[in-house]
């Protein structure tokens, strides 16, 4: 009743051309996203990059752990395409210098500005906990009793920057 088949796998103990006798062809795994080259890097011989926190037009922000202290920090890294632009590198350095000179509760503390062995540029900052203002606004209107303290803190930070002759470029 089975038609005659030809070839080495045509007839098996289980019947004609049983799939258990078919040679296995290695399958190609679907390529997932490439691993992030920053994860695992040791920066300035003390900051071990653990994971990405966020990304923007100029680069990305990672969480890094100080290998001796165990403390977590935020690391802002310029993207490879931006890092080749001397003006962008100078802006990031100026941002680090400016922010570190203000010393205000509502302005992130900058710890370090450095380069990785491959020339990549980064700044190390205190890691802030909580929700970003953008995320909060994205959830809907902020009631006045919550918005006023936020506005007060923002104005205090800008006032401290302006007192040092620093104007925020994005405002």
Active-site annotation, residues: 170
Contacts for 45 with CB less than 8 Å, ≥ 6 apart = none
Contacts for 126 with CB less than 8 Å, ≥ 6 apart = 73, 74, 108, 109, 111
Nearest to 78 by CA among 32, 116, 29, 104: 116
The single-letter DSSP state of residue 132 is -
List helix spans (H) across 70-141: 80-83, 86-102, 133-138
Helix, strand, coil content of the chain in percent (nearest 5): 30, 25, 45
């Amino acid at each position: 009743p089975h038609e005659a088949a030809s070839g080495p796998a045509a007839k098996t103990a289980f019947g004609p051309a049983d799939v258990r006798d078919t040679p296995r062809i290695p399958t190609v795994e679907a390529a997932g996203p490439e691993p992030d080259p920053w994860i695992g890097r040791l920066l300035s011989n003390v900051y071990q990059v653990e994971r990405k926190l966020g990304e923007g037009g100029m680069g990305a922000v990672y969480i890094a752990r100080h290998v001796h202290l165990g403390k977590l920090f935020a690391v802002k890294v310029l993207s490879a395409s931006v890092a080749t632009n001397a003006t962008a590198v100078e802006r990031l350095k100026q941002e680090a210098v400016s922010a570190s000179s203000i010393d205000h509760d509502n302005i992130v503390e900058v710890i370090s500005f450095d380069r990785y062995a491959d020339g990549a540029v980064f700044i190390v900052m205190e890691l802030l906990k909580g929700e970003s203002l953008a995320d909060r606004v994205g959830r809907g209107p902020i009631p006045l009793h919550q918005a006023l303290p936020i506005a007060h803190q923002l104005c205090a930070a800008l006032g401290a920057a302006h007192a040092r002759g620093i104007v925020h470029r994005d405002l």
